[in-house]
Amino acid sequence: MGLGPSFHTLLRSFSDIPQWGLHANAVRFRNYHDQIAVIHAQLHHLEASLEDAQLAHSLAQSRLEMAHATEHVPHLEAMALGCNVSFCHGGWKKAPQAAQDQGRST
């Protein structure tokens, strides 16, 4: 962002005052002001990216629904809902973690 001409004028005015802390606080204030502007721009960019991803996700979900994907692969709906695959609609089964661990130890 940089320092504008009016800010340089302000700093020169502070230089004439024997309290060096005013100058330091003014520089600190401007640095934080610039940092906030940069973070705000990054946040705006991230929000736009999030909206794009949410739209793409919604479109993909709509395409799956229109293709009746859950009729062809029943576990997809359960996975989309966050269900543990081993308990969903008798579809795709995952081995329990304990059985996997026992298989490694032997």
Question: Residues 50-83: pLDDT tens digits?
Answer: 999 999 999 998 988 888 876 777 766 666 666 6
Cα 36 to the chain's mean position, in Å? 18
Q: Whole-prediction pTM value?
A: 0.51
Supply 33's token pair: 């002001």
Can you give the pLDDT at residue 89?
A: 47
- What sign has the CA pseudo-torsion 8, 12, 14, 15? positive
Q: Which residue has the higher pLDDT, 14 or 30?
A: 30
Considering the chain, what percentage of its residues have pLDDT values greater than 70? Answer: 65
- Among left, alpha and beta (phi > 0; psi -120 to 50; other), residue 92 is beta
- What sign has the CA pseudo-torsion 74, 78, 84, 90? negative
